[in-house]
Amino acid sequence: MVMADEAGTIRCAIYTRVSTPEQAEGDFSSIDNQREMAEAYIKSQAGQGWVALDERYDDRGFSGGTMERPALDRLLQDAQDRLVDCIVVTKIDRLSRSLLDFARIVDILDRHGVSFVSVTQQFDTLNSMGKLTLNILLSFAQFEREMIAERTREKMVAARRKGKWIGGTLPLGYDILDSKLTINGDEAVRVRTIFDLYLKHESLAATLVEMTERNWTSKSWTTKRGHYRKGKPFQKASLRRLLTNPIYIGKVLHDGHIYDGEHEGIVDTQVWKRTQQILKKNGSNGGGDVRNRYGALLKGILRCAPCDSAMVHTFIKRNGRQYRYYVCGKAQRTGWANCPTKSIPAEEIERCIYERIRIIGSNPHLVKETIQAAQKQIDEQTALLKAEIRMTRQQLRRFQEEKQALLESISQGGSVASKAAERLDQVAEEMESTSSRLSSLQRQLSDLQDQKIDTEDLTTAVAQFDPIWDVLLPRERTRIARLLIQHVDFDGESGTMGITFQPSGIKALSAEATTTNEDKK
């Protein structure tokens, strides 16, 4: 909507353009003709307060297919500085012959409350018909942007199929030379060692411990623009990405398909395949058979309270006999001096946890306290989930805005188009991942809101412990413990521990016990 100044005057800037210098020559040139027509139209609107500005915005000898025009630049700057209320041209093609450029210009004008009028085409963004026409033109412009982006993506897919490196985060073990991946010798040794460590431990967590002790991080590198990217300590997710990346066997991955790459591999193909098999096996069963082969009841549950660190299950052999322990993971990595807990015999704390849970069902006071604690936990988790859902929705909106900006960059062509298209693919993946994450969070919230622990649930669940515990297989004991318990915090200095129950697990175990009892009838 046009914004008049305080006196009610609508300041009209007349824009004129000719493609060749010759058209601007003579006693009465095309430029003069355009201006005269525009002035006559503005005079016809004098009753509405329209006034033609004396400032001239004439581009002599400039194509309408480019935005690089001095008078246009000056006009748009004046519009942004609120020195103009309306821009008048004789025809739309005087302003731009490119639909995409026209859409960009209109967007700038719209954001600063400046209207646009084409005299001979009766195009006026002040009236409803002009707005409708504008929306149709902008829709075509958006379509054209997306077509350009699609063509750029198709070129990138073709490059991937040929095994070319098309950019992105540089993987550990490689450098870039003449737009191709080349092996970095020192880093390649590290990559091979990481694969060997995983095959040795068959556990991401155990591999990470050794990598942390060696202070190994992800790739540190400098971008083309000179920005330094410092490597970061590995986490489970980033380690998994490294171990599953086919780039290390001389392949490239695109859209779920693997193609032969132009670069040399670093890791032996059989080593890589064996790694994928172990990762798949661990992923299908949570890694339980591999990571908990010694029947550690509290593995992944027990924490050292003073150090706020997971306690790691381990064992030692003495006089031909094996003794199991839980040790503070932080103390194990950084030294034992500052940890008051250090270690505790596994059987001792596992039996203690069992006894604590067993007596809950027979003590009404403990039942009440446990239910209150579980409900408090549900309330806290509900608040956290709602906050995370809000942040995830905001992130999704930001990705949508970035997508539109990238489409805009792609439509401009040039050197930025390829990089923008590459980022567009990444944004599309991140949007899909974020949408999936949002759906997951919403399901979690719905499930959590359905959980309400009562006395019957708790007593039924803990009743499972007493009569059958001693005859259960280690795997079944672990399953029941993890259903009931979220985590156990142990303080070796005071000798105290606290159990945080799993509300969803209490209901699940209660329902399981009820179903089993009914089947026996």
Same domain, 283 and 314: no
Task: Report the predicted TM-score, pTM, of the whole model to 2 decimal places.
Answer: 0.38
Same domain, 321 and 285: no
Same domain, 261 and 189: yes
Which 3 state secondary structure label does DSSP give 188?
Answer: helix
- Which one is predicted more confidently, 356 or 29? 356
* CA pair distance 211, 301, nearest whole angstrom: 23
Same domain, 281 and 306: no
**Can you give the CATH number for the domain in which 66 is found?**
3.40.50.1390
Q: Provide, rounded to the nearest whole percent, the portion of the chain with pLDDT above 90.
A: 15
Same domain, 283 and 178: yes
Write out the residue range of the structural domain in which residue 183 sits.
174-291
Which 3 state secondary structure label does DSSP give 202?
Answer: coil
Same domain, 46 and 121: yes
In a domain, 311, yes or no: yes
For residue range 32-80, list pLDDT tens digits in order: 888 998 999 899 889 889 999 999 999 988 877 678 899 999 999 999 9
Choose among 498, 502, 509: nearest CA to 353.
498
In a domain, 150, yes or no: no
- Which one is predicted more confidently, 251 or 164? 251
Same domain, 215 and 344: no
Tell which of 291, 317, 339 closes a domain. 291
Same domain, 219 and 343: no
Q: By mean pLDDT, which of 284-293, 349-358, 432-441 is the weakest?
A: 284-293
In a domain, 444, yes or no: no
Tell which of 86, 108, 126 closes a domain. 126
Number of domains within the chain? 3
- Residue-averaged pLDDT of the chain: 77
The amino acid sitting at 161 is R
In a domain, 214, yes or no: yes
Select, from the ranges 24-28, 60-64, 285-289, 355-359, the one with the highest average predicted confidence (pLDDT): 60-64
Give the residue-averaged pLDDT of 403-432.
73
Q: What is the CA radius of gyration of the chain?
A: 34
Same domain, 188 and 82: no
* CA pair distance 187, 218, nearest whole angstrom: 10
- Which one is predicted more confidently, 178 or 416? 178
Is the pLDDT reported for residue 521 higher than 50?
A: no
Same domain, 245 and 286: yes
Tell which of 239, 263, 291 closes a domain. 291
Cβ pair 86, 11 in contact under 8 A: yes
Same domain, 287 and 180: yes
DSSP state of 171: P
C-beta neighbour count of 111 within 10 angstroms: 10
- The confidence band for 140, taking pLDDT boundaries of 50, 70 and 90, is low
For residue range 147-172, list pLDDT tens digits in order: 666 666 666 666 666 667 766 678 89
In a domain, 63, yes or no: yes
The amino acid sitting at 314 is T
- The confidence band for 420, taking pLDDT boundaries of 50, 70 and 90, is confident
For residue range 87-121, list pLDDT tens digits in order: 999 887 788 767 667 778 888 888 888 988 888 77
In a domain, 158, yes or no: no
In a domain, 2, yes or no: no
In a domain, 179, yes or no: yes
C-beta neighbour count of 21 within 10 angstroms: 10
Same domain, 357 and 479: yes
**Can you give the CATH number for the domain in which 208 is found?**
3.90.1750.20
Is the pLDDT reported for residue 340 higher than 60?
A: yes
For residue range 457-489, list pLDDT tens digits in order: 556 655 555 555 665 667 767 777 776 777 888
Looking at residue 518, its pLDDT comes to 44
